[in-house]
Amino acid sequence: MNGYPFIFSNKFPYRLLRHLAFWIVFLGHYAVQNIIIAGSSGTGYFRSLPQLFLYIAFFFPAFVVSAYFFMYVIIPAFLYTRRFVPFLLSFTGLIISNFAVATLMAKLYIHTTILVQNNQAEYGQYKYYAVANGIWIPLILLSLVCGILLSKKWMSQQTANEILIKEKISKELKLLKTRIHPRFLFHSLNSLEGKLRNELPESPNLILKMSELLSYVLFGSEGDYVLLEKELEVIREYIDLQKNNHHDKIQISLEIKDETNDSYLAPLILLPFLETSFEYLMVMDASLKKMDVRIRASEGILYFNLTCTEDYPTEAKFYQQPMWSDITKRIETLYPDNHQLILKSNNHEILIELQLNMIHSPKDERLIEGVLNENQEYA
C-alpha cells in the first residue's frame, strides 16, 4: 500500500484503517503498561487476561471520547484559527473532565474488583487509577493527537505549496513562449521571403529550422524536463536564424561542447537569455555588435556563458529589466540549490554566466493533486 494516501487521504477506507492502526498501537501500549499491578511491598504481580480486559473496559472508552472531541472540536475551533487562549482553556477543561470521569470509574473499578461498597471506598484506594487515567495518560494522548494533526496539516500545506509552485512554473513557461520577440519572427519571415523569391538554395533549410524552433517552443517544451541534446539543437537553430537575419549587423559566435549522455534540464532555460540579449543589441546604435555564446556540458553540469559587446559601449543596465527578473526567478524556482547565475554589466560588455546541475533521468513527479483534493480534513 502506498503510504501517502494511507496517511493523508480523506477516503473512508484509508481514514478507518489509520484510526484503527492508531488505537491498536495505543491500546497495546496501554495494556502492556497495566498488565503488572504494584503491590504494597514494592513487588508486583501480573493481571490475568480477564482482569486486564476489565481494567481496560473501565478506563479506555473515556480516552477515545476525549481524543475525538479534542480532534474534531477543540483543535479546529481554536488551534487552527490561532485562538490560543480559548484553546488552552478548553484543553484544561478537557483534562479536568477526564480526571472527574476517571475518578468515578476508579471508584467503580475498586467496588467491582475488591467488592468495596461505594460509600466505603477511600480515595487512597483508587487515587492512582484516577490520577494515571485522568491526567497523565490523557495528557500524553492529547499531546500525541495534537502533534499528529499539526504535522499532517504542515505536510499538507507543503504539498499545496508544491502544487502552487508547479502551476506558477507552468504559467511562467507559457509566458516565456509568448515572449519570443515579434521582431525575430518578422526578420526571419522577411529574410525567408527574400530568399524564396530569389530561389536561393538555403531557403528550404531555413524553413525547416524555423518550423523546428517554433514547434519546440510551442509544443515540444511541455514537459518538466527535456533532453539537453534537444535544447542545444534548438539553440543552434536559433543562432543560425539570427545569423541569417543579422549577418551584416551582429557578429555571432557559438561554441557547444556536450560531453554528457542523456542529461535532462528544464525546457527553455537558455533560449530566453539569447532572445533578450539579441533584443538588447538590436536597439543599440553601435556600428558593430558582437555576441559570443559558449555552452559546455560535463559530468552532469551545464556551463553557459554569453557575452555581448559593441563598438561604442554605453553603461548597460539591461539585466535590471523585468524580462531578466522573470528569467532569473524561474531558474531560482526550478534550481533553488543547484545553480549559480552571474549577471554583470559595465561600459564595455554584458556578461551572463550560468552553471546548473542537470539530472540523468526525467524527474519522477508524484501525482499529489488528487490526494490533496481528498485531504479536506486532517484526521
159 and 202 assigned to the same domain: no
Among 76, 37, 79, 71, residue whose Cα is nearest residue 54: 37
Collapse the DSSP code of 223 into the 3-class scheme (helix H, G, I; strand E, B; otherwise coil) and give the result: coil
Read off the pTM: 0.51
203 and 76 assigned to the same domain: no
DSSP letter at 335? S
Q: Give Rg (Cα) of the chain.
A: 35
Would you give per-residue pLDDT tens digits along the chain (379 residues)? 456 677 777 788 888 898 999 999 999 999 988 887 654 444 567 888 888 899 999 999 999 999 999 999 999 999 988 899 999 999 999 999 999 999 999 888 887 877 555 555 677 777 888 899 999 999 999 999 999 988 888 888 887 777 777 777 666 656 655 555 555 565 566 666 666 766 667 677 777 777 777 777 766 666 778 888 888 888 888 888 888 777 777 888 899 988 777 788 888 888 888 887 877 777 666 667 888 999 999 888 999 999 888 655 454 454 445 456 777 877 887 888 888 988 887 666 788 899 998 887 764 443 333 433 444 444 4
134 and 220 assigned to the same domain: no
pLDDT of residue 174: 62
Residue 110 is assigned to a structural domain of this protein: yes
Among 307, 240, 247, 246, residue whose Cα is nearest residue 282: 246
Q: How many residues does the structure list for the chain?
A: 379
Instruction: Please state, in angstroms and rounded to a whole number, the distance separating the CA atoms of residues 156 and 41.
Output: 52
152 and 209 assigned to the same domain: no
pLDDT of residue 163: 75
283: CATH: 3.30.565.10
pLDDT, tens only, 192-248? 666 676 666 767 777 777 777 777 776 666 677 888 888 888 888 888 888 877 777
193 and 333 assigned to the same domain: yes
pLDDT of residue 287: 62
Residue 159 is assigned to a structural domain of this protein: yes
183 and 163 assigned to the same domain: no
Q: Which residues contact 111 (CB under 8 A, 6 or more apart)?
A: 117, 118, 121
Q: Give the cell for residue 347.
A: 561600459
70 and 27 assigned to the same domain: yes
The domain total for the chain is 2
DSSP string, 258-297: E--SS-EE-TTSSHHHHHHHHHHHHH---S-EEEEEEEEE
pLDDT of residue 141: 93
320 and 290 assigned to the same domain: yes
Which of 167, 201, 231 corresponds to the end of one domain?
Answer: 167
Among 46, 23, 48, residue whose Cα is nearest residue 36: 46
Collapse the DSSP code of 64 into the 3-class scheme (helix H, G, I; strand E, B; otherwise coil) and give the result: helix
pLDDT of residue 117: 57
- The distance of Cα 155 from the centroid of its chain, to the nearest Å, equals 9
Residue 114 is assigned to a structural domain of this protein: yes
247 and 274 assigned to the same domain: yes
Q: For the chain, where are the alpha helices, taking DSSP H only?
A: 3-8, 12-34, 49-69, 84-113, 123-131, 137-178, 182-197, 203-215, 228-246, 271-283, 322-334, 369-374
Instruction: Please state, in angstroms and rounded to a whole number, the distance separating the CA atoms of residues 297 and 303.
Output: 6
Range of the domain at 141: 3-167
Residue 213 is assigned to a structural domain of this protein: yes
42 and 190 assigned to the same domain: no
Residue 223 is assigned to a structural domain of this protein: yes
Residue 373 is assigned to a structural domain of this protein: no
